Amino acid sequence: TILKSTDSGATWNRTAITQNIVLKDLVLHGTQGYVVGNNGQTSSKELGEVYSTNNSGNTWSKVNIGFSNKLVGVDYKNNLVGIIGTNLSNDLVNPEFIVFSKNGGEKWERVTHDHVVAGWNDITFINDTKFIVVGRAGKAIMVEIKN
């Protein structure tokens, strides 16, 4: 459930996401925003889902990022979107999951890296071309997006 207040928290209204997902993270800047979560299934059937809004969270639309990894965090700055999560179930070859979009979610690119952690926990943009992701066991990496 996503609740929205337009009166500094005096009242709250439920906003509509049509699917039943377990929400993990939400980011809003102005009228644009993203939410990530998972379908609530366990083991190999757990799939990540992304939703976006362009009307301050009044309505949400599902976004196809081209991957089904379990998702944990999202950040948004200008037209850049970053999403983190974990590798697919029982896939020990691929490192944990980081994707980004340079065009507001129209096209997504996966960040390849050699940093094996038990999963990424948080993401934040530090400027218009760089973001930091942090994971378990104190792992932190900076990703720079090239044009």
Contact in structure between 26 and 4 (CB atoms under 8 Å): no
Instruction: Please answer whether residues 124 and 52 qualify as being in contact, where contact means their C-beta atoms are separated by less than 8 angstroms.
Output: no
| Residue-wise pLDDT tens digits, 4-16 | 888 999 999 888 7
3-state secondary structure of 19: coil
Q: What DSSP string runs through the chain?
A: -EEE-SSTTSS-EEEB-SS--EEEEEEEETTEEEEEEE-S--GGG--EEEEEESSTTSB-EEE--S----EEEEEEETTEEEEEE-PPTT--SSPPPEEEESSTTSS-EEPP-----S-EEEEEESSSSEEEEEEGGG-EEEEE---
In this predicted model, what pLDDT tens digit does every residue of 4-48 receive, in sequence order?
888 999 999 888 786 778 899 999 988 999 999 988 776 667 788
61 or 45: which carries more pLDDT confidence? 61
The kind and range of the H/E element at 139 are: none
Cβ atoms of residues 74 and 36 within 8 Å:
yes
